[in-house]
């Protein structure tokens, strides 16, 4: 790839408005005797329609960053601005509105409601969204047509993970935050899931952030951000995004 | 249906056993509340209606004899509304095939028409035909206990002459709802009856033609009863008036009032404690339940459900369970309430029962329950939603356990690893463990309250009749007699020993407080009637001064050494000042005592006696009784055996029935609490226990870890429960004191043992249910999903 092209694509992106604007973000977990510095001052802009992959060693602060971006956790210092809204200063009900109408989440530990079936686990989100898909549609995007009425306990780990993804994409959010969406999946199923994410990102222009431990997945991203020890160690842009179907691991 | 509501129903279904146990606890509290309050309201309403519709008089007065013309003078007293004069007389009755002594009170009814005041409710039969001197109406309780019907016959000694009477009607009067012979402590429907007869024949028999010896009246609105009584007493004084008194001192009404007051106390304290305990448990259970759903609350919040929606979701769950309990409680409360009211009807003689379902009472019970549940839920929901979702959603970090102090002090070596896990777990969550213990302890405590009455009442009866009133027979004369009467009675066959007593009706006054009772003149060194000090040791009355039942001392607010004013209500009614020489410990009845000689001196009389206590061979009782019945000057005979039996059949029975209902509900609550504690512990720790199973621990070992904790908490709860039970009983005993009797604070070890057993059995059953669930623990499912 030539330097020109790379610059061009970056400029194209920069031309887009920044969806997230992160400045000096730190997160300290106070555990009494010890303080755990999960994030030590992150500066970062994320742009509209961008697909970003977050890489980094275990414990480097990826989930923490994602949670703060998603309004699930509060920062210790620094600020995070989503469009015009300063998340670090927002009150609880603003954050609730923010999560409800803008964010789709895939949790690292799925967090399905055990007493609801797969379909109902998706419905519980679509019922309060503004412009959702049908739960069935979302579930079939992740290849679960024949598991809709199963309870979480009756699903395999990977299937649960796919329900969690269906739940996140079903509301057609403006931002999709996925914490290891393919962690428990074989590469075949993983690719199905990645294709779904790619499709949403492409068709709806959803800003998508994906945490993963599988470095090859980074090839499908517009940008790859590496975290190490609570700091951004490296940011690189892919001039050529690889389609999900060509990724192997 | 919305997915969230579906989750609600599924969650409810999944915890159905627990929900049922919670509902059961609430139902018990609500049932006790509804049962007690509706019964009390029904009785009060019934009494009010009966008094009103049957013109219960406001002022009552007995006198020797006054001409009928005085009636108009009475009516002119300001504040008097309606006046009715009557002839009243005590009679001895003889009933065919009944050997015991029967006495009665005869009242006149107008020859034409109906009584103006204290009207009769005729249950059966008719009023007396004008001019008939052989027709009577008898009170229902008396009629029932002898199986009388209109047409039945009995004979009476009226003014010295035996007369055969025919019962033409069976009636009830607001004046005799609580039917008790003057001077006796408890009702005896077999041996004491109220009879009504035509005014003319009764007047003729007692030389009261154109005269009366009893008057009742009602007050006009706004009248001051004290003023009316004062004027009435002044007016009647020359005619041998015995002192007018109001409803407050009217025997039936006063006992009714006392018993209703006592019932009101039980009917409010019990339910408040029950509902309070139920609410506390509900609160406990709900907050732990919601705590367990922390992760789900976080997930819902992460999807954008706001705190209000999440809170409402859990509140709905709680309210559903509560409503289930409230519905069950109201239904069973009404059912038991109706039964209880009917039992009381049997005891108090009301012509009708005004029991109705009172939606207001049910609503209050529901509100209290819901409020309790919601506060419990709100707190936990609030705590749940306050944690940032990101944090709440992470799998709970491995808990920080430490070596406990028990291990520190060196018991470590003798404890197995699972035992150490039990105490570490308890010590890590001390508040939770403490609350569980408190919950079980309260269940144990209310069991004790429900059960202790029976034994305390036995103790009370034993003290009264074995240590204090030891006579077999108590004989009271119509008028004070001389010592000769004692020797006469002592010579009856089978009589082993006799002891005379003097009884003088008085009104005691100290500052503004007054009390109508009798002073008993007691012989020092007596063996049948003995006065007991506070340590229940007998002592002799001092030569001077008056002794009071300790309870009476409290009522009048006097202490030893204070001077009381004694207004004698018989003879020429002297008023004297007497100093209080001491207190007498007595749990049945209220009296004042004096040395018999001092009392005779106070009355300025010789060796007058009012009656005799007799010790007699039980085999001779029937003969003695029939001989006594022949004697003309005897007003009343009380046989101890019979008095005790009556006490148990009437007063004690109603309390025992009520409290055994309580005990039943208490046992239900005990089970509900213990079961819930066990189930919550199971669901809180099933993940951890499943992991241990996966690591190779056996079913027995994980059961030991969980059930061992339950056992430790239960065992700790029992002594605490006994202590709380004791405190509650003390409170009850204090609240239930009446003129009639005071239950002593005596809790037998059997009561503690029973309460402990119920708790232990509940724990065992709950434990085995939990154990079965542990055996079926689905290791895979537990490990695969969170929560
Ligand atoms: N609630 C918490 N309390 C204390 N420390 C925490 C908490 N959450 C995270 N940490 C610490 O913060 C650091 C960053 O955690 P984070 O979950 O962001 O890591 P991660 O990069 O997502 O790791 P992984 O790839 O293993 O998921 C870790 O050292 C972790 O131990
Ligand atoms: Mg992580």
Find the DSSP H helices in B429-557: 430-462, 484-490, 550-556
In the structure encoding, which two tokens stand for residue B4, read together?
A: 């969230």
Answer whether B307 sits within 8 Å of A92, measured CB to CB. Answer: yes
The dihedral through the CA atoms of B432, B435, B441, B443 has a sign that is negative
* Exposure b/e, B330-367, CB count within 10 A at least 16 = b: bebbbebbbebbeebbebbbbbeebbeebeebbebbbe
Burial of residue A248, with CB atoms counted within 10 A of its CB: 0-12 exposed, 13-18 middle, 19 or more buried: exposed
Q: What pLDDT was estimated at residue B369? A: 85
Asked whether B532 and B585 are in contact (CB, 8 A), the reply is yes
CB of A15 within 8 Å of any CB in chain B?
Answer: no
Q: How confident is the model at residue B414 (pLDDT cuts 50, 70, 90)?
A: low
Q: In the 3-class helix/strand/coil scheme, how is B337-365 assigned residue by residue? A: HHHHHHHHHHHCCCCCCCCCCCHHHHHHH
β-partners of residue B153 are: B166
| Ligand lying closest to the C-alpha of residue A64 | 1
Q: How many angstroms separate the alpha carbon of residue A39 from the centre of ligand 2?
A: 13
Nearest to A113 among B7, B391, B395 (CB): B7
Q: What pLDDT was estimated at residue A2? A: 45
Residue A44 has pLDDT above 90, yes or no: yes
Residue B377 has pLDDT above 70, yes or no: yes
Residue B616 has pLDDT above 80, yes or no: yes
**B774: nearest Cα among B670, B690, B666:** B690
d(CA A5, CA A239): 7
Q: Which residue of A has its CA nearest to B785?
A: A153
How do strand B135-139 and strand B161-172 relate by DSSP bridges?
parallel
| Secondary structure class of B135 (helix, strand, coil) | strand
Contacts of B662 (CB under 8 A, 6+ apart): B32, B270, B274, B446, B449, B450
Q: What pLDDT was estimated at residue B577? A: 94
Q: How many angstroms separate the alpha carbon of residue A239 from the centre of ligand 2?
A: 27
Is residue B549 within a helix (H) or strand (E), and if so which, with residue range? Answer: strand B546-549
d(CA B217, CA B118): 10
d(CA B236, CA B243): 9
Q: What is the ipTM of this complex?
A: 0.81
| Secondary structure class of B488 (helix, strand, coil) | helix
Q: How many Å lie between the alpha carbon of A115 and the closest alpha carbon of chain B?
A: 6
Domain spans in chain A, listed from the N-terminal domain onward: 49-72+99-246
d(CA A139, CA A146): 9
Q: How confident is the model at residue B457 (pLDDT cuts 50, 70, 90)?
A: confident
For atom 30 of ligand 1, the residue with the nearest CA is A59
Q: Among residues of chain B, what percentage have pLDDT more than 90?
A: 35
Asked whether B177 and B255 are in contact (CB, 8 A), the reply is no
B230, B235, B236, B240: CA torsion to nearest 10: 100
Asked whether B611 and B475 are in contact (CB, 8 A), the reply is yes
Is residue B504 within a helix (H) or strand (E), and if so which, with residue range? Answer: strand B495-510
d(CA B64, CA B152): 32
d(CA B64, CA B50): 30
Q: How many Å lie between the alpha carbon of B457 and the closest alpha carbon of chain A?
A: 54
Mean pLDDT of chain B: 86
Tokens 């929560």 sit on residue: B787
Asked whether B665 and B466 are in contact (CB, 8 A), the reply is no
**B342: nearest Cα among B740, B657, B736:** B657
- Each residue of A131-171: pLDDT tens digit? 899 999 999 988 899 999 998 888 887 888 889 989 999 98
CB of A36 within 8 Å of any CB in chain B?
Answer: no
The whole-model pTM stands at 0.75
Ligand 1: residues whose CB is within 6 Å? Answer: A 29, 31, 36, 38, 56, 58-64, 108; B 391, 394
Contacts of A242 (CB under 8 A, 6+ apart): A219, A220
Q: What pLDDT was estimated at residue A45? A: 94
d(CA B60, CA A52): 99
Is residue B333 within a helix (H) or strand (E), and if so which, with residue range? Answer: helix B307-347
CA B430 to chain centre: 39
d(CA B426, CA B596): 67
Answer whether B7 sits within 8 Å of A115, measured CB to CB. Answer: yes
- Each residue of B146-201: pLDDT tens digit? 999 999 999 998 877 888 999 999 999 999 988 887 767 778 888 899 999 999 99
**Residues 82-101, chain A: which have Cβ within 8 Å of B?**
92-93, 96-101
d(CA A96, CA B306): 6
Higher pLDDT, A114 or A75: A75
Asked whether A192 and A120 are in contact (CB, 8 A), the reply is no
- Each residue of B226-259: pLDDT tens digit? 999 999 989 998 898 888 899 988 988 988 888 7
**A162: nearest Cα among A173, B304, A180:** A180
Q: What is the CATH number of domain A49-72+99-246?
A: 3.40.50.300
Contacts of B178 (CB under 8 A, 6+ apart): B187, B251, B252, B253, B255, B256, B259, B348, B349
CA distances (Å), B540 to each of B99, B527, B529, B544, B562, in order?
36, 10, 10, 11, 20
Nearest to A123 among B3, B305, B389 (CB): B3
Q: What pLDDT was estimated at residue A12? A: 46
Q: What pLDDT was estimated at residue B315? A: 85
CB atoms within 10 A of CB A233: 13
Asked whether B63 and B245 are in contact (CB, 8 A), the reply is no
Per-residue pLDDT, averaged over B264-269, amounts to 78
- Each residue of B270-314: pLDDT tens digit? 777 777 777 777 777 777 777 778 788 888 888 888 888 888 888
Contacts of B52 (CB under 8 A, 6+ apart): none
Nearest to A124 among B3, B393, B778 (CB): B3
In the structure encoding, which two tokens stand for residue B64, read together?
A: 């020797």
**B156: nearest Cα among B138, B179, B181:** B138
CB of A32 within 8 Å of any CB in chain B?
Answer: no
In the structure encoding, which two tokens stand for residue A18, read together?
A: 């920044």
How do strand B211-219 and strand B161-172 relate by DSSP bridges?
unpaired
| Secondary structure class of B684 (helix, strand, coil) | helix
How do strand B531-532 and strand B538-539 relate by DSSP bridges?
antiparallel
Mean pLDDT of chain A: 87
Is residue A189 within a helix (H) or strand (E), and if so which, with residue range? Answer: helix A187-204
**B487: nearest Cα among B354, B612, B301, B582:** B612
- Using a CB cutoff of 5 Å, list residues around ligand 2, an ion: A 63, 108
Give the CA count within 13 Å in the CB-facing half-sphere of A29: 12
- Each residue of A84-124: pLDDT tens digit? 899 998 888 888 889 889 999 888 777 888 888 999 999 98
d(CA A226, CA A55): 5
Asked whether B58 and B247 are in contact (CB, 8 A), the reply is yes
Higher pLDDT, B226 or B683: B226
B485, B491, B497, B502: CA torsion to nearest 10: -10
Residues of B in contact with A167 (CB under 8 A): 303
* Exposure b/e, A158-179, CB count within 10 A at least 16 = b: bbbbbbbbbbbbbbbbbbbbbb
- Ligand 1 binding pocket mutation candidate from A28, A30, A56, A64 (most atoms within 8 A of CB): A64
In the structure encoding, which two tokens stand for residue B712, read together?
A: 């430790």
- Ligand 1 binding pocket mutation candidate from A61, A69, A181 (most atoms within 8 A of CB): A61
Answer whether B786 sits within 8 Å of A107, measured CB to CB. Answer: no
Residue B633 has pLDDT above 90, yes or no: no
- Each residue of B340-363: pLDDT tens digit? 888 888 777 788 888 888 889 889
Residues of A in contact with B299 (CB under 8 A): 107, 111-113
d(CA A91, CA A83): 16
Is residue B124 within a helix (H) or strand (E), and if so which, with residue range? Answer: strand B121-125
Q: Which residue of A has its CA nearest to B779?
A: A153
N-to-C CA span, chain B: 24
- Each residue of B513-539: pLDDT tens digit? 888 888 999 989 889 999 999 899 999
Residue A5 has pLDDT above 50, yes or no: no
- Each residue of B93-144: pLDDT tens digit? 888 888 777 888 999 999 888 899 999 999 999 999 988 889 999 999 899 9
Closest ligand 1 atom, CA of A60? 21
Q: How many angstroms separate the alpha carbon of residue A177 from the centre of ligand 1?
A: 17
Contacts of B706 (CB under 8 A, 6+ apart): B681, B682, B685, B689, B770, B774
Asked whether B362 and B32 are in contact (CB, 8 A), the reply is no
Q: How many Å lie between the alpha carbon of A3 and the closest alpha carbon of chain B?
A: 40
Residue A198 has pLDDT above 50, yes or no: yes
d(CA B564, CA B557): 11
d(CA B290, CA B321): 14
CA distances (Å), B769 to each of B17, B654, B717, B752, B772, in order?
10, 37, 20, 26, 5
Higher pLDDT, B645 or A55: A55
């Amino acid at each position: 790839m030539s330097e020109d092209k790379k610059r061009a694509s970056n400029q194209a992106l920069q031309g887009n408005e920044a969806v997230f604007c992160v400045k000096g973000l730190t997160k300290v977990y106070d555990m009494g005797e010890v303080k755990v510095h999960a994030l030590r001052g992150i500066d970062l802009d994320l742009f509209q329609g961008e697909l970003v992959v977050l890489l980094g060693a275990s414990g480097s602060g990826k989930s923490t960053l994602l949670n703060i971006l998603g309004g699930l956790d509060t920062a210790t210092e620094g600020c995070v601005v989503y469009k015009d809204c300063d998340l670090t200063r927002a009150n609880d009900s603003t954050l609730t509105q923010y999560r409800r109408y803008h964010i789709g989440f895939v949790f690292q530990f799925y967090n399905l409601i055990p007493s609801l079936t797969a379909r109902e686990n998706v419905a519980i989100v679509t019922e309060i969204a503004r412009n959702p898909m049908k739960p069935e549609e979302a579930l079939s995007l992740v290849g679960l047509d024949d598991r809709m009425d199963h309870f979480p306990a009756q699903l395999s780990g990977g299937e649960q993970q796919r329900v969690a993804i269906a739940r996140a994409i079903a509301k057609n959010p403006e931002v999709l935050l996925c914490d290891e969406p393919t962690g428990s999946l074989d590469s075949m199923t993983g690719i199905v899931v990645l294709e779904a994410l790619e499709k949403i990102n492409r068709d709806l222009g959803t800003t998508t952030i994906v945490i993963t431990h599988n470095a090859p997945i980074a090839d499908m991203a517009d940008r790859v951000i590496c975290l190490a020890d609570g700091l951004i160690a490296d940011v690189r842009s892919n001039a050529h995004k690889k389609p999900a179907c060509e990724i192997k691991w | 249906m919305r997915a969230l509501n579906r989750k609600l129903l599924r969650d409810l279904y999944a915890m159905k056993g627990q929900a049922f146990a919670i509902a059961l606890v609430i139902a018990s509290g609500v049932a006790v509340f509804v049962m007690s309050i509706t019964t009390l309201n029904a009785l009060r309403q019934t009494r009010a209606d009966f008094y009103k519709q049957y013109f219960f008089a406001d002022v009552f007065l007995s006198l020797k004899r006054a001409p009928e013309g005085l009636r108009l003078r009475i009516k002119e007293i300001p504040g008097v509304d309606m006046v009715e004069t009557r002839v009243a007389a005590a009679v001895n009755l003889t009933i065919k095939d009944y050997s015991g002594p029967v006495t009665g009170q005869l009242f006149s009814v107008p020859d034409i028409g109906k009584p103006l005041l204290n009207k009769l409710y005729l249950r059966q039969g008719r009023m007396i035909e004008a001019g008939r001197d052989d027709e009577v109406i008898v009170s229902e309780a008396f009629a029932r206990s002898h199986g009388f019907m209109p047409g039945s016959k009995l004979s009476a000694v009226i003014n010295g002459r035996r007369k055969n009477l025919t019962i033409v009607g069976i009636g009830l009067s607001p004046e005799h709802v609580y039917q008790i012979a003057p001077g006796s402590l408890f009702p005896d429907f077999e041996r004491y009856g109220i009879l009504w007869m035509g005014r003319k024949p009764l007047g003729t028999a007692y030389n009261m033609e154109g005269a009366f010896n009893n008057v009742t009246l009602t007050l006009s609105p706004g009248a001051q009863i004290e003023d009316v009584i004062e004027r009435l007493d002044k007016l009647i004084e020359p005619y041998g008036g015995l002192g007018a008194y109001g409803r407050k001192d009217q025997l039936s009404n006063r006992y009714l009032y006392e018993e209703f007051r006592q019932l009101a106390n039980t009917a409010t304290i019990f339910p408040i404690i029950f509902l309070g305990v139920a609410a506390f448990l509900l609160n406990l259970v709900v907050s732990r339940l919601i705590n367990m759903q922390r992760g789900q609350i976080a997930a819902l919040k992460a999807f954008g459900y706001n705190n209000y929606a999440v809170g409402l979701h859990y509140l709905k769950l709680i309210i559903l369970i509560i409503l289930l309990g409230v519905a069950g409680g109201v239904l069973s409360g009404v059912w038991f309430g109706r039964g209880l009211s009917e039992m009381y009807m049997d005891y108090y003689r009301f012509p009708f029962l005004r029991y109705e379902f009172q939606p207001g009472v049910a609503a209050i019970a529901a509100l209290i329950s819901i409020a309790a549940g919601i506060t419990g839920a709100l707190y936990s929901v609030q705590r749940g939603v306050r944690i940032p979702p990101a944090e709440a959603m992470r799998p709970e970090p491995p808990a920080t356990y430490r070596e406990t102090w028990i291990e520190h002090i060196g018991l470590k070596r003798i404890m197995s690893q699972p035992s150490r896990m039990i105490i570490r777990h308890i010590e890590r969550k001390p508040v939770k463990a403490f609350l569980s213990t408190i919950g079980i302890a309260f269940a144990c405590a209310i069991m004790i309250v429900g059960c202790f009455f029976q034994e305390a009442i036995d103790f009370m009866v034993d003290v009264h009749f074995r240590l204090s009133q030891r006579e077999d027979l108590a004989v009271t004369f119509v008028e004070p007699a001389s010592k000769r009467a004692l020797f006469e009675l002592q010579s009856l066959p089978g009589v082993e020993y006799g002891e005379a007593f003097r009884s003088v009706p008085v009104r005691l006054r100290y500052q503004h407080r007054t009390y109508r009772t009798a002073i008993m003149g007691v012989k020092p060194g007596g063996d049948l009637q003995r006065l007991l000090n506070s340590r229940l040791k007998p002592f002799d009355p001092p030569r001077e001064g008056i002794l009071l039942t300790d309870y009476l001392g409290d009522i009048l607010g006097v202490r030893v050494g204070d001077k009381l004013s004694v207004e004698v209500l018989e003879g020429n009614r002297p008023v004297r000042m007497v100093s209080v020489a001491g207190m007498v410990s007595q749990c049945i009845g209220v009296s004042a005592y004096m040395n018999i000689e001092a009392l005779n001196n106070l009355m300025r009389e010789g060796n007058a006696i009012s009656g005799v206590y007799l010790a007699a061979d039980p085999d001779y009782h029937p003969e003695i009784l029939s001989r006594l019945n022949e004697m003309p000057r005897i007003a009343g005979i009380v046989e101890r055996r019979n008095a005790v039996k009556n006490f148990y059949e009437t007063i004690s029975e109603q309390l025992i029935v009520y409290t055994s209902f309580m005990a039943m509900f208490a046992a239900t609550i005990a089970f509900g609490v213990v079961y819930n504690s066990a189930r919550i512990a199971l669901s809180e720790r099933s993940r951890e226990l499943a992991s241990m199973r996966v690591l190779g621990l056996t079913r027995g070992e994980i059961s030991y870890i969980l059930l061992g904790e339950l056992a430790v908490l239960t065992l700790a709860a029992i002594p605490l429960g006994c202590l709380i039970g004791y405190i509650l009983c003390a409170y009850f005993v204090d609240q239930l004191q009446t003129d009639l009797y005071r239950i002593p604070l005596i809790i037998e070890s059997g009561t503690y043992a029973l309460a402990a057993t119920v708790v232990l059995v509940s724990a065992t059953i709950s434990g085995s249910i939990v154990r079965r669930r542990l055996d079926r623990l689905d290791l895979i499912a537990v490990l695969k999903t969170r929560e």
